[in-house]
Amino acid sequence: MSFTWYTNAQLDIDLLFTFEDGAPIQSLVGATVRADAVLKGGAAYPGTVTILDAQTAHATWAAGSMPMGGYEIQVHASKAGAAQVAAVETFTMRQGAF
Residues 3-17 pLDDT 10s = 676 667 788 888 888
Q: What is the mean pLDDT of residues 23-40?
A: 92
Residue in 48, 38, 16, 15 with CA at minimum distance from that of residue 93: 38
| CATH entry, 2-94, from 2.60.40.10, 3.40.1190.20, 3.40.50.300, 3.30.565.10 | 2.60.40.10
Q: Determine the distance from the C-alpha atom of residue 3 to the mean position of all C-alpha atoms in its chain, rounded to a whole number.
A: 14
pLDDT band of 43, cuts 50, 70, 90: very high
φ, ψ dihedrals at 51, nearest 5°: -80, 125
- 31 pLDDT above the threshold of 80: yes
Per domain, the residue ranges of the chain are: 2-94
Average pLDDT, the chain: 85
Q: How far is CA 31 from CA 11, 34, 49, 60, in A?
A: 23, 10, 11, 18
